[in-house]
Structures are given as structure tokens and as C-alpha cells.
């Protein structure tokens, strides 16, 4: 597996280190695909990061019955790895942005 600056290799222990580093970064604003995004949550079971896209149009959020209830910022769920368990390039950029802070 290719290693990216600031991202650990695929061993379980090092993967947990990556997740912990992301947990510590919750609330920080980073660039993801040329957009300012705030790290909102780390989903350990799915090995994903949830980011809130700042400065974008808000989207309508439906309640459990499908009724439109409010406007909220757009969010994205970014997986840490692809199906072959290679690091996601977006996560590579996120780690690089965190190193610069």
C-alpha cells in the first residue's frame, strides 16, 4: 500500500492512529477538493470522516417521515480507504492540510 505524507500504513494499529488523529482534528477547517470543510465526526466502524462543507448553499433536510423541516449545511462522508484498502486521495489531502496547521 502506498503511504502518503502524514498517513500511516494499513496495519490495524496504525489505522487506529489515523482515526485518533482525525478525532483530535474534529472542529478544524481544512480544504477538501478546493472547498473549505469542517471535520464533524469520525465513523470508526465504517472508517470514514464526516465533513461539513462551508460557504455552500444549504440543503433541505427531511425528517423521519420525509417532510422537509429545515435547511442545513451540506455534509460529505469521505472513506479513509477504497475497496482494495488503499488510502483515499481525498484523505491524503486532508492529512496534508492537518500537518500544515
Residue 5 covered by a domain:
no
- Residue 14: pLDDT band (50, 70, 90) is low
Q: In this structure, are residues 88 and 76 in contact, taking their beta carbons and an 8 Å threshold?
A: no
Residue 1 covered by a domain:
no
Residue 4 covered by a domain:
no
Q: Does position 50 have pLDDT exceeding 60, yes or no?
A: yes
Range of the domain at 25: 12-100
- Residue 3: pLDDT band (50, 70, 90) is very low
Residue 3 covered by a domain:
no
Q: How many domains is the chain partitioned into structurally? A: 1
Residue 6 covered by a domain:
no
- Residue 4: pLDDT band (50, 70, 90) is very low
Residue 57 covered by a domain:
yes
CATH number, domain containing residue 81:
2.30.30
pLDDT tens digits, residue range 74-100? 899 999 888 888 888 888 888 888 887
Mean pLDDT of the chain: 82
Q: Model pTM?
A: 0.72
Amino acid at each position: 500500500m502506498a503511504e502518503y505524507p502524514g498517513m500511516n500504513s494499513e496495519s490495524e494499529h496504525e489505522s487506529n492512529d489515523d482515526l485518533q488523529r482525525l478525532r483530535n482534528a474534529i472542529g478544524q477547517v481544512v480544504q477538501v477538493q478546493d472547498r473549505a470543510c469542517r471535520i464533524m465526526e469520525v465513523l470508526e466502524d465504517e472508517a470514514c470522516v464526516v465533513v461539513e462543507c462551508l460557504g455552500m448553499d444549504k440543503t433541505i433536510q427531511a425528517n423521519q417521515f420525509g417532510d422537509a423541516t429545515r435547511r442545513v449545511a451540506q455534509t460529505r462522508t469521505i472513506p479513509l480507504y477504497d475497496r482494495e484498502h488503499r488510502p483515499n486521495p481525498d484523505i491524503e489531502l486532508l492529512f496534508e492540510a492537518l500537518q500544515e496547521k
